[in-house]
Structure 1
Amino acid sequence: MMFEDEAEAWLGIDLGTQSVRALLVTADGTVLGSGTTPLTGHRDGVRHEQDPGEWWEAVCTASRAAMSGQRSSRVRTIGGLAVCGTSGTVLLTDAEGRPLTPGLMYDDGRAVEEAARVGMQTSWALPKALWLLDAYGPGRVTHQPDVITAQLTGGTVPTDSSHALKTGYDAERDAWPPQLAHLGEVLPEVVRPGTRLGEVCRSAAEATGIPAGTPVIAGMTDGCAAQIASGALRFGAWNSVLGTTLVLKGASARPVRDDAGVVYNHRAPDGSWLPGGASSVGAGALSAGADPAEMDRQAAAYEPSGALTYPLASSGGERFPFFAPQATAFTLGTPASEADRWAAVLQGVAFTERLCLDYLHHLGAPIDGPLTFTGGAARSAYWNQLRTDILGRPARVPEQIEPALGMAVLAAYGTGTGAGAGTRKGTRTGLALADVAERMVRIRTLLEPRASHTARFTEPYARLVDELETRGWLPTPLATHTRTRLNQDTIDS
């Protein structure tokens, strides 16, 4: 990658659940412009849909806002762009890439029968794609970002292997598996993230403000994009993305094997692996309408809380660190106040985060590298320190904590002269993605665990593990492994 030309910048676009975010970033991580446009959706019980046409309109608005910064800077060219979307969001399009159905969001829960038939979670894309084919008839299975990249380039494009993973794509073989052969032309062509898909066409340039001819690079899911934005790409490094729910993404030389299917493995653009899992606990369990900063201040008086909470943010059960569709949120004990209730949720999320890392260790995943916090919750300085204390390990928080930055980094990697040209399978040579990320990602805060605080949470963490095992959700081998690690930590301290 050649960074000498400071007159070049890259655009990252993130299709989130509630908004579209665009970020224009230089080679040294300077943000020149940004834009955010809200999205609406339709929720009705387990149903959650969005209008794909609204995605494009929001991209146009957000991109024009981000590009306005370029006109007031010394940047002369846009080196490229990449787009990420919510993992598991899928729709059907026609042969020209025009949407035929609404977008079924990642948490749409209608494909229960289809999920059982293919042995997947309902949040994955393949069950929802099968549901759409049955409900709407023939169409081409399309992932959320493909709608946007098709509009940008003026024609249908391959999907990337990151978004295709939850549609059943075999990332190790770089192919659709034989058991999906009956779907034939319904499934899209797949390339590796970082592959050049085409260029921004003239009509898209007029709509978005992005210069015509700008390279469009195959992106990754929002979780992987956040991982790239964190810089957690060296083997053994992990990124903990805490928003409405919790996602952990790491870097490994080999896939992390998990017979339970809780941990899955994305293929990195350079051919290495990004294992991870998505939990259903998170900030979505916090009281709506409260002032987070004030509640954090009051919660500091309750360490540990008088109540023990397992803070599921949705009613769909748990996915990581164990798979239990029947799991529900619970609280043991009675909080002394609303501040104590708030503290119990913050601590419960951190306990689950620790259990996720214990599970990864149980599977033999490398977890000895740096840990990075991203996601909306990383804006809370108090929660960051609390999580660091409960985990008992250092952590860091980047300056920018959003997936759009990760897509700007991937665009820089995919178009850089030092990275080589992508093939249809995305084979690359040259500078590693980690090298590019470390130049563009700025670390804002370094956190150290406080031993006395870590000790306070040993007993409630052990109680949560016991309770999850007693309820039959947490497998006994994992509970035993967790207790062994906890006892060892206690001895070492």
Structure 2
Amino acid sequence: MSTLGIDLGTQSVRAIILTDEGVLAGEGTAPLESVRRNGEHEQDPTSWWTAVVAAVHTARQGLDASQIEAVAVDGTSGTILLANSEGAPITPALMYDDVRATAEAEVVNRVGAEAWLANGYARMQPAWALPKWLWLRRHWLAEEFSKARLLHQTDFINESLVGGRVATDCSTALKTGCDLQQVRWPLPLLDALELPSRMLPPLVEPGKPLGRLGARVATLLGLRAGVRVVAGMTDSCAAQMGAGALTPGSWNCVLGTTLALKGVSETLLRDPDGAMYSHRGPGGLWLPGGASSSGAGILSARLRHADLAALGVAAAARPDPSFFTYPLAGRGERFPFVAPDAESFSTGEPADDVEAYAAMALGLAFVERLCFDHLDGLGARIDGRISFTGGGARSDHWTQLRADVLGRQVHRPRHAEPAVGMALLAAGSTSRTVRDDVVTEPAPERHRALLRTYRTFLDAIEQRGWASAVLIAHARRRAA
């Protein structure tokens, strides 16, 4: 028997079929398109379903699809839309890094300060789902809003799979205000914000059953009717599960369009700046981490027609640049600090595309190190296994650079990605992994040289007032 994992990414949908023995039997990908403008980021929700169908068709080619017994779906954290009573979208999807709800975030934080502090993150960010829901109430047609339902990205696909309404998992619901410790919606708080709780789906824990695949949808996907659909997680939690980062002190760093870090803690960590937050994990553990707005997306935006793999090879043959580019493709930063007005900048002028690539890669490695500095300052254990996943982990140049900046041994599991984590969750496994690691060791001399440039990175962040003095001072101490 086998299971199907589906990852709803930013630029594509990915489907993975995994056997009971942990063998990757099939995979498929289908592209997605976005609309970005002035801090806003939207997608057409119906395009997700079209891409899911295409990706599943590719993944199951040449396989006995009747052997697939369960499916789970992950999605981007904080992505929401309004839908009618039948589940058809009436708004575009406001994506995970859409920061239009800046004013609404202030209201949400004023009203819900005690609740968010109890959840461990102190403040919600404009890109989170609850501020965006409030933005929709203020800006969408009142008549349509009053009849609408709020759906998360995974809800929309799960409803399409089972042919009816479904619950949402508490991992996905975190940024919509879910009480993490009680796994329930904060009803009095929602009343104070004038957000009708009837618009929300019920809550379940990841891995719980949501329903079964109906005959019509099964035929469309080329699967058998009756396949179990189970509640998934956010994409970073799914990647963490696929990478096997499930022991205290271990961390998984997902580098795709954006960078996300997720680790394991025995206690609930609290971040007064609100950049870090925790999900509930299996076995009473907590999964702290954060999602940056920085990432590999800047390469696609600025070097659109270049061969990025070739640039990586060329950059590896040159000395490291003496300057860096802060790697924001859009506006606003979410982790390792919260700075809604942050924008990309460069401390030098690249001579060619190779140097431009190297400067952006270096800036991203510095952002990643500052994430670890922030986590360490909050009391998180960071002494365990570090794994790199996501599209950026395929680059040998980038992986070595990141290992050298961190000064840590890193692992690259060959088949650890969000879709694999969802296939494992669908199988009922929270400990088994598909792992065949490539290990990268840091180069001590390069590490020391890069830390000198890292200190200029910290100076530049401090000058712009983006990060707290406490974080900058702690990062400097660790880099000394």
The alignment's TM-score, normalised by the length of structure 1, stands at 0.88
- Out of 253, 267, 277, the position equivalent to 1:254 is 267
- Out of 54, 62, 65, the position equivalent to 1:61 is 54
2:125·2:274 contact (CA, 8 Å) conserved in 1?
Answer: no
State the 1:483 CA deviation. Answer: 1.8
Assess, with a 3 A threshold, how the Cα gap between structure 1 residues 333 and 16 changes in structure 2: closer, same or farther.
closer
Assess, with a 3 A threshold, how the Cα gap between structure 1 residues 154 and 36 changes in structure 2: closer, same or farther.
same
Instruction: Give the aligned partner of residue 322 of structure 1.
Output: 337
Question: Structure 2 CA distance, aligned partners of 1:70 and 1:255?
Answer: 43
Percent identical among aligned pairs is 50
State the 1:44 CA deviation. Answer: 4.1
Assess, with a 3 A threshold, how the Cα gap between structure 1 residues 338 and 47 changes in structure 2: closer, same or farther.
closer
Residue type of the partner of 1:349? L
Question: Structure 1 CA distance, aligned partners of 2:89 and 2:222?
Answer: 23
Deviation sequence 1:251-275 (CA, Å, 0-9, x none): 1122221011110111124442111
Question: Structure 1 CA distance, aligned partners of 2:88 and 2:306?
Answer: 41
1:193·1:268 contact (CA, 8 Å) conserved in 2?
Answer: no
Alignment of 1:434-473 (within 5 A): 435-437=431-433, 441-473=434-466
- Out of 88, 102, 112, the position equivalent to 2:92 is 102
* Residue 403, structure 1, aligned to residue 403, structure 2: no
- Out of 308, 312, 325, the position equivalent to 1:296 is 312
Assess, with a 3 A threshold, how the Cα gap between structure 1 residues 308 and 53 changes in structure 2: closer, same or farther.
closer
Residue type of the partner of 1:295? L
Residue type of the partner of 1:78? I
Residue type of the partner of 2:205? R
* Residue 208, structure 1, aligned to residue 238, structure 2: no
Question: Structure 2 CA distance, aligned partners of 1:151 and 1:334?
Answer: 49
Residue type of the partner of 2:456? R
Question: Structure 2 CA distance, aligned partners of 1:148 and 1:341?
Answer: 38
State the 1:319 CA deviation. Answer: 1.3
* Residue 28, structure 1, aligned to residue 38, structure 2: no
Instruction: Give the aligned partner of residue 333 of structure 1.
Output: 348
Instruction: Give the aligned partner of residue 143 of structure 1.
Output: 152
Q: How many correspondences in the alignment?
A: 454
Question: Structure 1 CA distance, aligned partners of 2:136 and 2:282?
Answer: 30
Instruction: Give the aligned partner of residue 481 of structure 1.
Output: 474
Residue type of the partner of 2:94? L
Deviation sequence 1:277-321 (CA, Å, 0-9, x none): 112222122222221222122212443313233222222x22111
Measured on the aligned residues, the alpha-carbon RMSD in Å equals 1.8
Question: Structure 2 CA distance, aligned partners of 1:365 and 1:69?
Answer: 45
Question: Structure 2 CA distance, aligned partners of 1:109 and 1:360?
Answer: 23
Assess, with a 3 A threshold, how the Cα gap between structure 1 residues 275 and 201 changes in structure 2: closer, same or farther.
same
Assess, with a 3 A threshold, how the Cα gap between structure 1 residues 109 and 477 changes in structure 2: closer, same or farther.
closer
- Out of 166, 175, 191, the position equivalent to 1:166 is 175
Instruction: Give the aligned partner of residue 132 of structure 1.
Output: 136
Gaps of 5+ in 1: 1-7, 415-432, 488-493
* Residue 111, structure 1, aligned to residue 104, structure 2: no
1:90·1:141 contact (CA, 8 Å) conserved in 2?
Answer: yes
Question: Structure 2 CA distance, aligned partners of 1:153 and 1:270?
Answer: 29
Structure 1 runs of 4+ aligned residues shifted over 4 Å read none
Assess, with a 3 A threshold, how the Cα gap between structure 1 residues 342 and 49 changes in structure 2: closer, same or farther.
closer
Instruction: Give the aligned partner of residue 297 of structure 2.
Output: 284
Gaps of 5+ in 2: 110-123
| Of 188-197 and 54-63, the range deviating more from structure 2 | 54-63
| Of 443-452 and 359-368, the range deviating more from structure 2 | 443-452
1:245·1:313 contact (CA, 8 Å) conserved in 2?
Answer: no
Deviation sequence 1:173-220 (CA, Å, 0-9, x none): 211123114522122211111111111111111111221111111001
Instruction: Give the aligned partner of residue 369 of structure 2.
Output: 354
The alignment's TM-score, normalised by the length of structure 2, stands at 0.90
Residue type of the partner of 1:126? L
